[in-house]
Structure 1
């Protein structure tokens, strides 16, 4: 019986602490949304290198992707589950098999490539843009290797990739510069892309979009 007051006191403390948690403590923030992304580009565009940099890993040891690989890119505002497809000609004929259930597309362009390679890149890019599974998702085109001498600029790449008409049809397409030597800018670009995905797919955003407009 002598232990009864101590037990009661302990139970009271536990009850008070639980009540304090329920009333005063801040709830944990909800987890970041996850989006399925397809990453395309012909061989030597730099896809694997850029994804490695985004994971804060050493890009010097990367090897070309033969088939495909899946990597999680953790950003402050989202997790991008990126499926990178190999860019060799024999693999590109199977790209479209991986286009379903995709929230967005990234296409990496080697802007230091030859005219023939740029033509090949343009053909593959437009083929992917026309695919029904990718025609309505946000696109991010990375004009890569901007740290290499003789690389065409973002504006020049826009012309060589014949994107004037495409941007009128794909309003969610963005062209951005990138290089393996500028990790910070690459992260900013990816966070911008994730914000666009969030605006399109977040249930909270969609709920706000459906709210009736009120006069001011």
Structure 2
């Protein structure tokens, strides 16, 4: 089960400085909007050359099993104290309703617990495979976050890539597999930066067409 969060990012490409301006928790699946300022827009604003053009927005759906760390990661990005985070709870059969939140999405963030039990890792594998093949998501860029890398039992990115069979399954798709934890926000922000690059590449392809 997961939560729905709306986040706005303003990104200047030097240092990937990220500002989060709003957050709203409303339900089962995580959906948030990323707003991006390219470096040139920052310069335009600083040099008083008129207001910058409207910021591009992207609707992303964030999914993952209960306990994977979705709420904690997104709350930390919002600079909230982990002490104030209340984990999302719910029955596993809620997963069948995830697809209700897929329509209109432009990208997918899948969070998995890299230190989970074999049974939970298998369940996460099945859900990721299902998302990668879903007709509303299969053409979208995926950011796969291997969370809880700070735990002793955490599996490496290479182990997860092999176990999840990402190379054969996601061949021809646009996906990123990144390690993360609450203790390494720089790595998490870098992961989002890579996803933003994929989203921008898609926009440029659409313009060329």
Cα contact 1:140–1:173 (8 A) shared by 2: yes
Q: CA–CA distance in 2 between the matches of 1:25 and 1:169?
A: 43
Q: 1:163 Cα shift? A: 1.1
Q: 1:51 aligns with which of 74, 84, 90?
A: 74
RMSD: 1.8
Question: Structure 2 matches for 1:49-198, cutoff 5 A?
Answer: 49-66=72-89, 88-170=91-173, 172-198=174-200
Task: Work out which of the residue numbers 39, 60, 63 in structure 2 matches 1:37.
Answer: 60
Structure of larger gyration radius: 1
Looking at structure 1, the residues matched to 113 and 97 of structure 2 have their Cα atoms a distance apart, in angstroms, of 21
Q: Which structure is richer in relative contact order (CA contacts within 8 A, separation 6 or more)?
A: 1
Go from structure 1 to structure 2 and tell me whether the alpha carbon gap of 1:166 and 1:56 turns closer, same or farther (over 3 Å shift): same
CA separation of 1:25 and 1:155: change in aligned 2, threshold 3 A: closer
Partner of 1:27: 50
Q: Residue 25 of structure 1: CA displacement?
A: 5.1
| CA displacement 1:20-54 (0-9 Å, x = unmatched) | xxxx9511222421111000110100001111111
Equivalent residues of 1:147, 1:179 under 8 A apart: yes
Higher helix share: 1
- Inter-partner Cα distance in structure 1 for 2:200 and 2:147: 25
Gaps of 5+ in 1: 1-23, 67-85, 211-216
SS at the partner of 2:100? Answer: helix
Q: Quick one: distance in 2 between partners of 1:198 and 1:169?
A: 18
1:206 Cα shift? 3.7
Aligned length in residues: 163
Distance of 1:26 and 1:121 partners within structure 2: 49
Q: Structure 1 length normalisation: TM-score?
A: 0.70
Structure 2 runs not aligned, ≥5 long: 1-46
Q: Deviations over 1:115-168 (max 9, x none)?
A: 111111111111111110000000010011111112000010111112121231
The structure-2 alpha-carbon separation of the partners of 1:132 and 1:28, relative to structure 1 and needing over 3 Å to count, comes to: same
